[in-house]
Chains A and B, each alone.
Chain A
Amino acid sequence: MTAIQPHLPILIVLLPLAAALVSAFFRRGAGAWALAMGVSALLPWMAGTMLWTVVRSGEPLSYALGGWAPPWGIEYRVDVLNAFVLTLVTAVGAVIMPYARRSVAREVHEHQQAWFYTMYLLCLTGLLGIAVTGDAFNAFVFLEISSLSTYVLIALGRDRRAVLSSFQYLIMGTIGATFYVIGIGLLYLVTGTLNMADLGARLGPAYATYPRPVLTALAFVVVGVCLKLALFPLHVWLPGAYASAPSVATTFLAGTATKVALYLLVRLLFTVFGIGITFRALPMTAVLLVLAVAGMVLASFSAAMQRDAKRLLAYSSVAQIGYVTFGIGLANANGLTGGLVHLANHAVIKTTLFLALGAVYYRIGSVRLEHLAGIGRVMPWTMATFVVGGLGLIGVPGTAGFISKWYLALGAIDAGLWPLAFVLVITSFLAVVYVGRVVEVAYFHEPSGPARDATDPPWSMLVSMLAAAGATIYFGFDTRATAEVAGMAARLLLGGRE
């Protein structure tokens, strides 16, 4: 173990990548699933070890790829923030994998199942790479690895709209990634370095000499990353993509892809550009807060009007991403802590919800609200986990969602923005509306049509759902792993550079 430990930053990317390549040799889904399951079970331990090390020592882990010292070479740098995100992504992947065996076998064509797992592992590689790297261009490469595999994952859905949604996401996602590259190019021209920590050190003086390229770079980079994290109004690709992708793909993406993009945004705003340039030279707080609140309110309304449960949850995701961006925009200790905590809590909550919906699809082949009548009575465990997730979404005390909203409200009050704290509460009521629509149909109607013969899904799927629902409740009480670590990360980001 001590021989492996210094190499953990590279191994956490190498393992899923090698597994993806080996998985491409499999012909049938079962073997590929076993490989993905094995790798997904190992990864959280690696990420957790790094998190433990960084929290105990307070020093970031630095890994110089190829033996070339930073800033000349590519550096993988793990501090509290990345370790937090790495642990989150690997944990979500590990929880979903047992569930995937049956769900993928049901939803993806026989001859494409092994490819599904290959793309899944590649997407995991990309997301973990973004989280672990300390080089801005390396982040772009991993961003595109994860994006391209996401486009394929979405297109593997059975509905013909899956290909269309995947194409729309491809166009918007590529524009976003290219905007990011333009921004990084401008930064490279001004400072001569691509290493994130080094850029952080050099951008202050560079801004004094060349203000316009630096601000232009900030604008490009923020728009590019916000396209990836589906901030309103750049969220247009998300509902279609989540609704038509296979259930496992939707669950994985909802729990990880936007979270890693949010991490990238935080890293860029606070470590690379620094608070001085981001929040004082530009009205970034105002921009982020306006867009976040608009997203929260408008997406919640859209969610309440949907007739397909997956689309409803997709719009809900846009609203929740608004919450995290709200916390980031506030840029004070409580706000940033709230944003980062919600990043983790929302991943757990959405995983619970989408896993439950996927189980319903597994049994009855549809997730339209009219087909869900009475499903709560015939699939009790499934809908129980859905209710737990829904309570988390609303922010009921005793679930993880309450913790994040608490910190966000405190942050809004700290910044003197009382009205926005009220907006947080109001949007929670909107969540009651759209969660309530599903719960009402599921419990208070008679089972009809295909729902009549449904039962709870097999054990392999129930295990994942119960684990996710359990985590939703657990993190509402024991916040050491989420809120305390997020608080440490927030203090690190805010106290870093002025």
Chain B
Amino acid sequence: MSYPPPPSNGSNDPGDGEPRYGARLPEGQQPQQPSSQQPPQYGAGSDGFGSPVPPPANPYGDAQPGSEQQFGGPPPFQQQPYGGQPGFGGPSPYATGSNPTQRNALGITALVLGILSVVLFCTTWVATLIGIGAVVVGIFGLSAAKKGMASNRGLSLTGVILGGVGIVASIITLIVVLQSPEFAEMMQDFN
């Protein structure tokens, strides 16, 4: 969703819409007005990447025919104070400011990779790569948990530890195998 100026409001800057809406609202809704000036964080669809132009007060306004807004068609004016406030709605999935489970996939991924690196450590370099992945993803998960964007810090930590164990065990295995006389014999058999 983009923010072209509504055809009939083209000469107004976006802030002018605010008193115009406010004048028509009942008294009980006045205190909620300032929050509708904020950019619609999650209602903005694909245009949320920090556009420099402040969006109009009504995030859904450009979906309405602009000329009818001037004459007080009931639907736009009734819906706008409620629809424009992403911070207040309770059950909406877009309502919470910072979701504490948003990055939980990192912890789960780190755990799965850590388990794989330990289980497969006898494959030497494959397990080393998997373990490195577990440690990297787990560190990202720990960082996300610190920022309050993930709730499963324990899974990330377990993944990092398991990944470290897998890396150490697989490298030791690789060294032992490369130095074993059986490996030299096997290589001669291949050649």
Does chain A bind chain B?
Answer: no
Residues of B within 8 A of A (CB): none
Residues of A within 8 A of B (CB): none
